[in-house]
Structure 1
Amino acid sequence: MERNRSDEKSRRKPSGAAVQRADLTEALYRAFFEEWAERGFGALSLERVAARAGAGKAAIYRRFPSRLAFAEAAISALGVRIALPEAEHPTLEEDIFALLLRARAVLRHPLVRRILPDLHAEAARSHEMRAINDRVAEARRKQAEQVLERAVLRDELPARIDRELALDLLLAPLYWRMVVRGVTPSRDDLALQTQVITAGLKAANRHHASL
């Protein structure tokens, strides 16, 4: 009987410090992004990240074997939130406007605006960071692809549309303005941008149909 009790204890789930608490993981992610935004990835210190999160460095290494693995996990978690499904709107133009509004909300966050240029710089030097950077872009493109799919189903765009070009056209102008130039567009600016993008996509559609 004693052995059975011992076996039962050994099968119990770990508790306390042995459990990777979700709230602590979130705090570590926030601290990681704050440290990255403040100092750049090259000078990022995991000791300072742990201190910002009110944890010990061991809490990081129980979750992530390296700084790069930490970056990948944090950005992947952020990417999932960014890629939440968009509500459908009646027209392509309304869908594009809603997409740009959501993208603006993400890109105007002060941490995002400071981290993204540094992420691009690191990606130019590191294959591993290039892969992480590509995953950030993929999260946005998946959301934009839903807009194209709905437009095809409504016969606003052809099924054979050049999707890579269309996806570039949907988000690249806003990204250039906000991340490269550091300018936050107003709703009126987004409305005008939406009209131009919609017209461009439909013009490409007409050109494609005439070939």
Structure 2
Amino acid sequence: MAARPAGRTRRRGAALEEAILSAAADELTESGFAGLTMDRVAARAGTNKNAIYRRWPGRLALGIAAYRRLTTAVRPPDTGDLRGDALELLRGANRHWSSPLGAILRELLAAAGGAPELLAGLQDQSGDAVAAPWLTILGRAVARGEAAPEALHPRVATVAIVLLRNEFVVRGAPTAPDDVLVEIVDEVYLPLVRRRGPAPG
């Protein structure tokens, strides 16, 4: 059996996947999704395109996986009241949307079009990850008597961030004015979580 060249180790499984994702994340950061190519990722990862295609069916799927690697879980704020916490979460999301990472996210959303399986991969890692900080601040608010216990439901907890995303999609702007964030919290979110009960007949 021929000896493997010195200094070269054939990577498999998780090690190779890690190298590819790392290379793709670096390419996304430097060139955006428009500049992401399988050739460049393969060269950067020290592998071949076939190894990438065996794991991701195309450039968009790889771009989504690389974007998810670049993002980190949101740490919930603790300002002492629900209004302050909700505004901090929305302002953080607003900053992300207008950041270089947010620009990559907008590119990926545009490329995904209406494909539900691809869009699902872009929902800030997962529905659970999106809901977690909102459920945390809402749980504190329930304990303080600021919100109704019935409000502790993922769909209710995340109403504010869903409305902010809608602003981005409808207006196509890279950021939303702060008065829009205040309006979402004061006119929709706080009234919703404070008065949970049967819908009016």
| TM-score of the aligned structures, taking structure 2 as reference length | 0.68
The aligned runs of 1:47-196 (5 Å cut-off) are: 47-50=39-42, 54-58=44-48, 61=51, 65-67=55-57, 70-71=62-63, 73-79=65-71, 81=72, 83-108=73-98, 109-123=102-116, 127=117, 129=118, 131-133=120-122, 136-138=125-127, 139-161=129-151, 163-183=153-173, 184-196=175-187
Higher helix proportion (structure 1 or 2): 1
Which whole-Å CA distance do the structure 1 matches of 2:65 and 2:54 have between them? 8
CA contact (8 A) 2:134 2:158 kept: no
- 2:195 equivalent among 162, 184, 204: 204
SS in 2 for 1:121: coil
SS in 1 for 2:88: helix
1:25 Cα offset (Å): 4.3
Which whole-Å CA distance do the structure 1 matches of 2:158 and 2:112 have between them? 19
- 2:25 equivalent among 25, 29, 37: 29
Give percent identity, aligned residues only.
21
| TM-score of the aligned structures, taking structure 1 as reference length | 0.66
Which whole-Å CA distance do the structure 1 matches of 2:195 and 2:33 have between them? 39
Which whole-Å CA distance do the structure 2 matches of 1:140 and 1:36 have between them? 24
The 10-residue stretch of structure 1 (60-69 or 109-118) with the greater mean CA deviation from structure 2: 60-69
Decide whether aligned partners of structure 1 residues 30 and 180 sit closer, same or farther in structure 2, where only a CA change above 3 A counts.
farther
Q: Residue type matched to 1:143 in 2?
A: P
Q: Alignment length, in residue pairs? A: 185
SS in 2 for 1:136: coil
C-alpha RMSD over aligned residues: 3.8
Kindly provide the CA deviation profile for residues 65-119 of structure 1, in whole angstroms up to 9, marking residues without a partner as x. Answer: 234663564244245x0x2322212111001100101111222221112212333
1:143 Cα offset (Å): 2.4
Kindly provide the CA deviation profile for residues 35-60 of structure 1, in whole angstroms up to 9, marking residues without a partner as x. Answer: 77328xxxx74124445xx4444388
